């Protein structure tokens, strides 16, 4: 794959050491049949924070994506962009793209961000560096 093709992909930044985060990303990975997403595990020692304008701490605190245009989104808008890209999930974006659903999702996401540091880590993770 050349650099041009790679830059046209949506990038998902996720904490592979987080059990819940890893599980959700594996669902997205399974449904990314058209290979439109780059999955970037920020918990790996090979993750290079200097390649991005957002700190690893911020990437870890809030779920982020980077659109092919270079724009970063976090939280609920990021999830909705992922759902648009994955054909089997486009219906979720259409159903939830309204004031009531988005408000409830924002509230749920706020709660998740608060409790996420207390959630269990994956069993095959040591020192925040997961084995693939």
- pLDDT averaged per 10 residues, the chain (length 132): 63 95 96 96 94 94 96 97 96 97 97 92 61 44
The CATH number for 103's domain is: 3.40.30
Total domains in the fold of the chain: 1
How far is 63 from 15, CA to CA, in rounded Å? 9
pTM, entire model: 0.86
Chain centroid to Cα 122, Å, comes to 17
Residue 28 is assigned to a structural domain of this protein: yes
Does any domain span residue 131?
no
Q: Is residue 76 part of a domain?
A: yes
Give me the phi and psi of 72, to 5 degrees please: -95, 140
30 in any annotated domain: yes
What tokens appear for 130 in the block?
């997961």
Asked whether residue 87 is assigned to any structural domain, the reply reads yes
pLDDT at 7: 65
Domain that holds residue 21: 10-122
Three-state SS at 38: strand
Take residue 97 and report the two structure tokens written for it: 């793209």
pLDDT value for 115: 95
127 domain-assigned: no
5 domain-assigned = no
- Classify residue 4: in a domain, yes or no: no
């Amino acid at each position: 794959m050349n650099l041009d093709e790679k830059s046209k992909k949506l990038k998902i930044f996720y904490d592979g050491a987080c059990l819940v985060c890893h599980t959700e990303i594996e669902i997205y990975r399974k449904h990314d049949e058209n290979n439109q997403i780059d999955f970037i595990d920020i918990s790996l020692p090979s993750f290079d924070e200097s390649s991005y304008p957002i700190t690893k701490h911020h990437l870890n605190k809030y779920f982020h994506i980077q659109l092919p245009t270079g724009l970063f989104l976090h939280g609920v808008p990021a999830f909705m962009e992922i759902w648009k890209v994955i054909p089997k999930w486009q219906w979720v974006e259409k159903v939830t793209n309204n004031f009531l659903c988005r408000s409830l999702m924002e509230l749920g996401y706020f709660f998740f961000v608060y409790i996420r540091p207390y959630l269990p880590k994956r069993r095959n993770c040591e020192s925040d560096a997961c084995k693939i």
